[in-house]
Chain A
Amino acid sequence: MLRFALLRILSAIPTLFLVVVLAFLMVHAAPGGPFDDERVLPPENARNLAAAYHLDESLPRQFARYVSGLLKGDLGPSYHYRDHSVSELIGAAFPLSLQLGSLSIAVALVVGVSAGVIAALRRNTVSDRLITGMAMTGISVPVFVVAPLSVLVFAVELRWLPASWSGGASGWRYVLPVVALSLPQIAYITRLTRASMIETLSSDFVRTARAQGLSLFSIVRFHALKPAMLPVVSYLGPAIAAALTGAVVVEIVFGVPGLGQLFVRSALNRDYTLVLGVVVFYAALIIVLNLAVDLLYGFLDPRIRNP
């Protein structure tokens, strides 16, 4: 297991390098620059800015400069937010995205697994069809429709919940963004759990257990659930990636100052260092999380552990 983890971490390094190269090239290929504006800068000012931020150096030199900073853990100064460094900006934005992301996945797991189990147990009844129908809707209605609609209904019309993010410190402001973000995940997990549970329930050892007189409830609780969860666990990797995409929309609609929103702004501002910083950070995050998920999978499925 340890060897496995170490190997994965090692192979992550060339991946990260590839990520940095791609992002660097793309960001510099884009027309415009971090200091371009409708009020065109006089040439001397433009020169001074370029010198201060090393934009007058050749691309390979800028790249080398960036990478050597990266190796020391320095993501550089933000080109757009001139008072702050990239690490500070990411450090301020990330916890929020983390909170939203983990809450939404937690909610999705709880609701999705429960719904999936119920649907599996009551297969082909009304409740099952209802649940699967709702799950299907959850996948099909995009986040950027759900989010503004929910603001309109719950915040502006009914005034039950805050309209957006920094309105007060209450935990209530989490509700709409987390729900919007978790809906598609709930839908997927429900379907996965249901399918997987149905399969597990028809497997031999479960049938044996039933024949021995064990109640359905205890079978599910103690024997069927763990193996049925395997596909859900392996889905967690893509789920996290999906949460990232959905997060951008949710952050923009609700005005949450998270990492997704920071990224979009930095791309539009041509804030080279901030763009690179967010991309590298996210890539590293995905790698670490996928590793964690794989380890969890291995832990849950003895067949993998001892092939």
Chain B
Amino acid sequence: MPGGIVSFALAVVCLVLGACSANDADDAQTLHRGIDAEPESLDFHKARSTAAGDVQRDLGEGLTGYTSDGEFVGRAAESWEISEDGRDYRFSLRRDARWSTGEPVTAEDFVYSFRRLVDPATASFYSQSVIDIENAAAIVAGEKALEELAVTANGDYELHVRLARPTPYFLALLTHPSMFPVHRASVEQHGDAHARPGRLVTNGAYTLVAWELGSLVELRRNEHYWDNQSTAIDRVRHHFIPEPAVELNRYRAGELHITDNVPPEAFARIREEQPDELRVAPYLNVYYYGFNLTRPPFRDNLELRRALSIAIDRHALTENVTGRGETPAWSWVPPGVDNYAERQLPYASMSDEERKAAARRAYRQAGYSDHNPLKVEIRYNTSDTHQRMALAIQSMWREVLGVETTLVNEEFQVLLSNMRAKEVTQVFRSSWLGDYNDANTFLQVMLSDAPSNMTGYSNEEFDSLVQRAAEQTEPERRRTYMEQAEAILLADHPVIPIYFYVSKHLVSPQVEGWGDNVLDYHYSQHLSLSPE
């Protein structure tokens, strides 16, 4: 019987191991990159995560895009003309642009794709990108027919777009993957399942050859891509690795060339031992605590909000709690945005002593004291970093002001739900990632009617300034409006901006062509691998 068991076990082992050899084509020219999650979809109209965006940017190409340094350029569109009133755009498409089938990419493809984006049946996430096109909003709401979308083709290579109002950042919007064209014939043939290897037809530098669910996607160069000779790397594998610690281990073991993240615990050591491989750059993302302005204690109590904001030692936080090169946030809009100079909170340059005194003054003015301390809740979603941040801030508020803070750790969906309802939240942790390189993407979050405005902030003057800026085509005047709006926002303290994220990656010395940029877009087609 023991013999029976042993041979059974051995048989299982052999069977299982034998069946598990995957085909690993490990060319010298295969780039291995980590992304932080499996893309929820590779259909350009059905995704929204940054992980999906990273893969999609290698597969498709929009009218406009970026160089490896983050410079804005035309991609599928060679040139364009904008009318005086800023509402009519005429794009001249590249005549040598091709799908991976070899067919030319035409203006009709873009017409079809934009229509599909706003089609209610597609149920896309990002139809917001094109909401400024005339009739787009009505179509998404199901009130008008697809054909009424003001995007038309004039011949094969001229695309005409008419906007409902002048939107100065429209060209920047076009770089987003939701604006990439989809191949009509494939979509009509395969419907919801067209975004698969062997079926997905792309107009970008790579095509999809494999999707190992739960594991990775593999891309291979698109021979028909108009700029194919500039593409150095033949194959790219994006590996889905949600845990930064696991990703780091794989990088150290030589399995990855590029990581998506760097775990905070290891950061200091890596900065010392491998500084050349560490790439840290400012990122268009702000980490903030929001106030619920619809209820006490923060409703109508500006001084209290100011006190809590001033009491936070942002330098200590970015050095000790996050410690990866993040910068303290004294404004709402992150630095590095085109055509913009962010405003600063007035206490940014105070010394520690001054700051604490100012905080205490504001606290007393708000009606609180040691005998009447504020009791408040901070809500945040489950994560090591958020927890440490909340603990640190709890400690700071206690030390400087004597505030009694309770920490409430909620699962992400629960927190989101509470934030939207605005019933139980008091102080909540959140963040905002910019969609495109323009200050408007940050300012519009705090409009009175913005769905993502979880604070309940409503200031008419702010709203009207942002509105005017959104319609102003002259850059200098736009900038003035936006800066004024931000100044008002900061003075009103509906949020406490805490720090600005940085993008952090480990990039192997073999990789060349990596360029840091605020949007953290790193197209594989700009990279090359030197031999090891």
Contact = CB atoms under 8 A, between A and B. Distances in A.
B5 interface: yes
Contacts of A51: 120, 123
Contact of A221 (B1, B250, B412, B430): B1
Contacts of B124: 45, 48
B195 interface: yes
A240 interface: no
Given A81-B40, A83-B41, A109-B5, A257 B13 contact: no
B38 interface: yes
A102 B452 contact: no
Interface in B172-227: 192-193, 195-196, 212-216
Interface residues of B, number: 69
A258 B141 CA distance: 39
Interface in B20-38: 20-24, 38
B48 interface: yes
A174 B431 contact: no
Interface string B239-270: 11101001001101101000000000000000
A106 B451 contact: no
B217 to A, nearest CB: 11
A36 interface: yes
A39 interface: yes
A106 B12 contact: yes
Contact of A174 (B17, B24, B214): B17
Interface in B117-139: 120-125, 127-128, 131, 137
A123 interface: no
B241 A88 contact: no
Given A92-B212, A169-B23, A83 B413 contact: no
Contact of B213 (A88, A107, A253): A88
A204 interface: no
A219 interface: no
A84 B213 contact: yes
A32 interface: yes
Given A30-B413, A36-B413, A156-B249, A257 B215 contact: yes
A80 B250 CA distance: 27
Residue from A43, A48, A51 whose CB has the most chain B CB atoms within 10 Å: A48
A52 B192 CA distance: 12
Given A106-B12, A169-B24, A92 B214 contact: yes
A89 interface: yes
B48 A156 contact: no
A109 B1 CA distance: 12
Residue from A45, A89, A93 whose CB has the most chain B CB atoms within 10 Å: A45
A77 B241 CA distance: 23
A258 B12 CA distance: 19
A195 interface: no
B8 interface: yes
Interface stretch (B79-87, B371-379, B396-404, B414-422): B414-422
B140 A32 contact: no
Interface string A153-185: 001100100111111110100100000000000
Contacts of B9: 106-107, 109-110
B451 A41 contact: yes
A169 B22 contact: yes
Given A83-B192, A109-B9, A257-B214, A226 B250 contact: no
Contacts of A21: none
B276 interface: no
Given A51-B123, A171-B17, A257-B213, A42 B451 contact: yes
A153 to B, nearest CB: 12
Interface in B90-137: 120-125, 127-128, 131, 137
Residue from A31, A80, A103, A253 whose CB has the most chain B CB atoms within 10 Å: A31
A34 to B, nearest CB: 9
A82 B192 contact: yes
B250 A39 contact: no
Contact of B5 (A30, A113, A252): A113
B2 interface: yes
A45 B48 contact: no
A179 to B, nearest CB: 13
A160 B341 CA distance: 52
A43 B42 contact: no
Given A52-B121, A169-B22, 9 more contacts: A32-B412, A48-B124, A49-B125, A81-B41, A83-B196, A110-B6, A166-B239, A171-B20, A254-B246
Interface of A: 30-33, 35-45, 47-49, 51-53, 77, 80-84, 88-89, 92-93, 96, 99, 102-103, 106-107, 109-110, 113-114, 117, 151, 155-156, 159, 162-169, 171, 174, 221, 225-226, 229, 252-255, 257-258, 261-262, 268, 270
Interface of B: 1-2, 5-6, 8-9, 12-13, 16-17, 20-24, 38, 40-43, 46-48, 120-125, 127-128, 131, 137, 140-142, 192-193, 195-196, 212-216, 239-241, 243, 246, 249-250, 252-253, 255, 411-414, 416-418, 420, 430-433, 451-452
In the complex, the 3 A-B pairs of residues with the closest C-beta atoms, listed nearest first: A257-B214, A32-B413, A92-B213
25 contacts: A36-B413, A38-B432, A39-B452, A42-B131, A48-B123, A53-B123, A82-B41, A82-B47, A83-B41, A83-B42, A83-B195, A84-B213, A92-B214, A102-B16, A103-B13, A109-B5, A156-B249, A156-B252, A174-B17, A225-B2, A226-B1, A253-B246, A255-B246, A257-B213, A262-B214
